[in-house]
Amino acid sequence: MANPPNEEEFQLSLTTDTPAATDVVRDGILARVQAALGDKIVESLLKPGDDIWVRVRTESWRETAVILRDLGFSYFDFLSAIDWLPSPFGRGEDDPTEPAPVRDNTIRHGYTGGDTRIQMLARVVDPTTSMGINLKADVPDDNAHIESWTTVYAGANWHEREAWEMFGITFDGHPDLRHIYLPTDFEGFPLRKDFPLLARIVKPWPGIVDVEPMPGGDQDEPAQDGDAQ
Amino acid sequence: MTLLGDRQQLSYIASQAADARVNLELETEGMTLNIGPQHPATHGTLRIIARLDGEQVVWVDPSCGYMHRGYEKLTEVRTYPQVTALVNRIDWLGSFANEVPFILAAEKLMGIEAPLRAQHIRTILFELSRIANVSLFLGDLGVQLGAITPVFMAFRDREYVLNLIEGATGGRFHPNFDRIGGLKDDLPAGWIDETRTVMKKLRRFCDEIEDLLFGNEIFQSRTRGIGVIPRDIALQYGMSGANLRASGVDWDLRRDQSLPMAWDKVDWKVWTHPDGDSFARCWVRLQEVRESTRIVEQLVDTIPAGPVMTKVPRIIKVPEGEAWVCTENPLGEMGYYVVSQGDLGPFRVKIRSASFNNMSITPWLLKGVYVPDIVTILASLYFILGDIDR
């Protein structure tokens, strides 16, 4: 980040750009969680001053929720999934009259890694400290299913229905797995990356570079990547 | 919904209804009451299928999706600055508040922070959108109970706040004013004095509503002890905002987490209520409007000088990483889980909206209530369809 103008005159921000190197509170939380979960954890990550990520084994998904709830993380925040496959349609800006461009479709996982294409993503929070944990778990590629959380957190019901219709993940033990947003006869799983966004496929997109001049931003700044267009 | 879909839905209802035959004494069959999708109590197009036994609800199924716009998918083909135009439409009564957590998440990934002046103005606009949103709730509440007057007062006084938002941002409902690294513009001249006057008017509006509605015996008898949500249930369902505070949980994300915003620089109070009933939820919201006017009044007096925009590249590329940012929006906790792979746009955005969680409790909450209370309980839970369906 470049130095802002008039730095000597105005205080721009109270905190510095570099996060705190140590985070005593989150260190303690992660240690507690690691002790309680034991070998159910595959990988964990703590970013000081930011958040905690924990990836657990697929078969321990429900058990993890039980343990964490009893540990004080009684607030259910959300449950969803991530499809890590790079979209075969890119950003939906291909010219339909041209042959489809070749794309790199190697999967790059985010924090705490992963082995499968689709991962669960959920967050539970301790209401007394309002500190939360982001939980992840791999979902098997061949038969996307995982245990349901509905008996642990009642609020997971609708979230799992949404994840089921959007990603095609079956939740074992869910009492009422039916469509929540989409019509009952909808085919396909819209939030999977290989589900095309048709509006962007049938018509050429005028271009992604759509930059509004920023007030205070310098128009003569050296060009960044992608500015050449 | 297609014919086939409707038939499947109906067969599902029939199978549920078979279990719902509870009145053994009279051996009467239950009846299915369909509320919505077009109904004044649903703030949009929510359909509620209720199975009744006499006057009592035995089973209820809120059917959402009539307004599902697929924002999570659309963000994947937008650049970061373009996303704010989408998320504006999630909770359309408090639009500016929707932009803030997304921008904060992007800024967190980029490792930048808005200048102090921008943080203050962001907080002011955030609270103004809360006032505009919740004051309409307070008026609308009366309509649900058959009282017409409060809604006119609410629309009258919300107009002052919308004028302020329009004056500062140019948009009454969808400001689209927040930028990565700051704000689009500075405040116009004379805006601060105008704000002070309007805040006084809004506090008077709160007093009027309190006298007219909250002191009203009919209102109290219709809401007290109705739709009680215990603390543990509220937490399990992930309820947030005033709904959670009305169940006695002292939880406010404005106070409990450190964000680059200005809430920690002013003096205000988090109101909770121990009862957890409809009245408590409405009462907590009323106090929140008052606190918001106090926050705005204090903030306009202490806006620091300086630029409103930090220096960001013209083409914004967000470094690889993941970030979760949530804020205390008018409806409750609104959060974005942003996954970036170093591209011009996000790889995946999970939008956690407050109303989705708040409404997921209704199948549990509405079981056993009387038909007229369905409407008051839904009104007191306060949802906005765009916030459920996204």
Instruction: Tell me what the mean pLDDT of segment B267-282 comes to.
Output: 89
Decide if pLDDT at B239 tops 60: yes
When the pLDDT of each residue in chain B is averaged and rounded to a whole number, the result is: 85
Q: What is the pLDDT of residue A8?
A: 45
Check residues B42 and B234 and name the one with the higher pLDDT: B234
Size of interface A-B (CB pairs under 8 A): 213
Whether B31 is in a domain gets the answer no
Question: Predicted confidence band at B339 (pLDDT cuts at 50, 70, 90)?
Answer: very high
pLDDT over 90 for what percent of chain B?
Answer: 17
How does pLDDT run across B181-201, given as a tens digit for each residue?
A: 888 888 888 898 999 999 999
Domain membership flag for residue B62:
no
Nearest to B240 by CA among B130, B355, B379: B355
- Domain holding B88, by residue range, is 71-389
Nearest CB among A86, A183, A217 relative to B309 is that of A217
Q: Is residue A99 a part of any domain in this protein?
A: no
Element (H, E) at A54: strand A51-56
Q: Do B324 and A17 touch (CB under 8 A)?
A: no
Closest by Cα among B153, B160, B157, B199 to B293: B199
Count how many domains chain A has: 1
Q: Do B360 and A155 touch (CB under 8 A)?
A: yes
* Helix, strand, coil fractions of chain A, as percent rounded to 5: 20, 20, 60
CB-nearest to B307 from A6, A154, A225 is A6
Closest chain A residue to B186, measured at CA: A215
In this prediction, residues B259-283 reach a mean pLDDT of 89
ipTM of this complex prediction, to 2 decimal places: 0.83
Question: Mean pLDDT in chain A?
Answer: 79
Residues of A in contact with B230 (CB under 8 A): none
Rounded to an integer, what distance in angstroms lies between the CA atom of residue A155 and that of residue B363?
11
pLDDT in tens, A110-152: 888 888 889 999 999 988 888 889 999 999 888 888 989 988 8
Is residue B355 within 8 A of residue B383, CB to CB? The reply is yes
Q: Is the residue at B49 inside a domain?
A: no
- Per DSSP, A115 falls in state S
- Best probe of the B interface among A3, A6, A12, A187, by most B CBs < 10 A, is A12
Quick one: closest CA in A to B184, which residue?
A: A215
Q: Judge if the upstream peptide bond of residue B37 is cis by omega within 30 degrees of 0.
A: yes
How far apart CA B384 and CA B244 sit, in angstroms, is 17
Residue B12 falls inside a structural domain? no
Tell me which chain B residue has its CA closest to the CA of residue A218: B311
Q: How large is the average pLDDT for residues A77-105?
A: 80
Residue B48, domain member (yes or no)? no
Query: Do the Cβ atoms of B237 and A111 come within 8 Å?
Result: no
In a domain, residue A95? The reply is: no
Q: What is the pLDDT of residue A19?
A: 53
Is B21 contained in some domain? Answer: no
Whether B337 shows a pLDDT value over 90: the answer reads yes
Give B-chain residues touching A212 at CB under 8 angstroms: 81
pLDDT at A1 over 80: no
The answer to whether residue A47 sits within a structural domain is: yes
pLDDT digits (tens, 9 = 90+) for A9-37: 554 555 555 555 677 888 888 888 888 88
Alpha-carbon distance of B237 to B357, in angstroms, equals 6
* B73/A15 CB distance under 8 A: no
For residues B145 and B162, which has the higher predicted lDDT (pLDDT)?
A: B162
Asked, for residue A102, whether it belongs to a domain, the answer is: no
Concatenate the DSSP letters of all residues of B46-114 into one string.
Answer: -EEEEEEETTEEEEEEEE--TT---HHHHGGGS-HHHHHHHHTTTSTTSHHHHHHHHHHHHHHHHT---
Using the predicted structure, report yes or no on whether residue B352 has a pLDDT greater than 70. Answer: yes
Q: What CATH number corresponds to the domain at position B78?
A: 1.10.645.10
Residue A48 within a domain: yes
Within a domain: A80: yes
Distance CA B233, CA B382 (A): 18
CATH number, domain containing residue A116: 3.30.460.80
Is residue B116 pLDDT above 80, yes or no?
A: yes
Distance from CA of A23 to the nearest CA of B (A): 13
Q: How many angstroms away from the CA of B262 is the closest CA of chain A? A: 11
**Residue to substitute from A6, A214, A227, interface B, most B β-carbons within 10 A:** A214
Domain carrying residue A31: 24-89+107-201
Helix B116-144 to helix B95-110 angle (10° resolution) is 150
Mean pLDDT, range B115-123, rounded to an integer: 90
User: What domain count does chain B have?
Assistant: 1
Q: What is the pLDDT of residue A227?
A: 44
pLDDT, average across residues B274-279: 88
Please state which of the ranges A91-100, B202-211, B286-295, B367-376 shows the lowest mean pLDDT: A91-100
Q: What average pLDDT does range A100-110 have in this prediction?
A: 81
Nearest by CB to residue A154, choosing from B1, B236, B312, is: B236
What pairing do the DSSP bridges indicate for beta strands A131-139 and B56-63? unpaired
Amino acid identity, position B319: P
Q: Does B76 contact A87 at a Cβ distance shorter than 8 Å?
A: yes
Q: A155: distance to nearest CA of chain B, Å?
A: 4
Which tens digit of pLDDT belongs to each residue from B50-96? 888 778 888 888 888 888 888 988 888 888 888 888 888 888 888 89
pLDDT digits (tens, 9 = 90+) for A174-218: 888 888 888 888 888 988 888 888 877 776 666 544 555 666 655
